[in-house]
A and B are shown apart, each in its own frame.
Chain A
Amino acid sequence: MTHLAYLVAGWGIALVVLGVYGFGLLRRGRRLTGQVPAGQRRWLTSPGDDGRGG
């Protein structure tokens, strides 16, 4: 296989960055969930909202 170092670098960097970013989101989510009452963890609706994003 030609250009193996470029392939490993390109795919490796992309997958590692996406993995680290995704893992970071999960960690941030876990930390924040503890700070918010269960009733306010509804993702698509909020008090006074019609639930359709508007």
Chain B
Amino acid sequence: MTGRRDTTGSAGSRLLGVSALVGVAVLLLFAFVLTDPDVRVHPTTGEEFGQFDAVRLLYLHVPMAVLTYAAYILCAAASVGYLVRRTPWWDVTAYAAAEVGTVFCGLVLVTGSIWGRPVWNTWWEWGDVRLMTTLVLFLLFLGYLALRRTTVDPRHQARRAAVVALVAVLDIPLVNRSVEWWENRTLHQQSTLAELKIQDLTLFTLMLGFVVFGLVGAWLLLHRFRVGWLEQAAAEHGVAMAIAERHAELDMPDVDAAVGDAGDGP
């Protein structure tokens, strides 16, 4: 599965990357050229209403929201795997999924805000339960990522991070169901996708968005996993080298001198 020796790329990841780039280009074509704006006519007044061209932001925003859920659920699943098996593979997977998910979650908040300004006439609504639960989700996983940067024993850090991930992921059902559970406390509409209230090219473009951003997310996750794996291998290699050097010093004929030299160091 390894590719060129100096990169984290492989034949599979390069194919995935090219597919994602081509997919983004095709998605832009559908989102901006081939689909129509959301314009509806009021049945009695004849007045035009709807999201107009702002709907084109949803081909980006909605898939990224679903990918955020997917990444955080993967993080939680890998955290369970780590707590059960205690092997680095699960820990690196959880960390990678959390980081990629947080990038997507941040973009969901930003693109949602940009969409909300023309459609809802506001950048942000503090009383909107979906916005707030999404913000809480983002902050929880920022805390997770901050915890991963603390300098404690890596095994303790991994165990604590796994527990934090399992707590943080409990917010996802709240985010997802908030529009039904607190329907009077959100500007968000209830699911149009599950009830197939959108059709034809709009639906197709939204589905294409899921596929394309799924490819982008998979590529990012793959490379983030490999970077995490290398970070861990580099740290272990550094420790092994230091131990080997120390042993080499102790194997010197004048052991007392070697110990004395090492003791003079920082």
**Residue pair A10, B233 in contact (C-beta under 8 Å):** no
Residue total for B at the interface (Cβ-Cβ under 8 A):
52
CA distance A45 to B110 in the complex (A): 38
B 3-14 to A, binary, CB cutoff 8 A, 1 in contact else 0: 001111100000
**Residue pair B56, A40 in contact (C-beta under 8 Å):** no
Interface of A is mostly: helix
Q: A2-B37, A34-B6, A36-B230 are in contact. Are A25 and B1 (CB under 8 A)?
A: no
Q: Does B188 contact A (CB under 8 A)?
A: no
Q: List 6 A-B contacts (CB under 8 A).
A: A2-B53, A3-B118, A6-B117, A14-B60, A29-B7, A46-B88
| A14 and chain B: residue at smallest CB distance | B107
Interface of B is mostly: helix
Hey, which chain A residues are within 8 Å of B53, CB to CB?
1-4, 7
Residue total for A at the interface (Cβ-Cβ under 8 A):
37
CA distance A54 to B64 in the complex (A): 30
A 6-18 to B, binary, CB cutoff 8 A, 1 in contact else 0: 1101110111011
CA distance A17 to B100 in the complex (A): 12
**Residue pair B220, A22 in contact (C-beta under 8 Å):** yes
Give min CB distance, B76 to chain A, whole Å: 15
Interface residues of A in 23-53 (CB under 8 A from B): 25-26, 28-30, 32-38, 40-44, 46, 49, 53
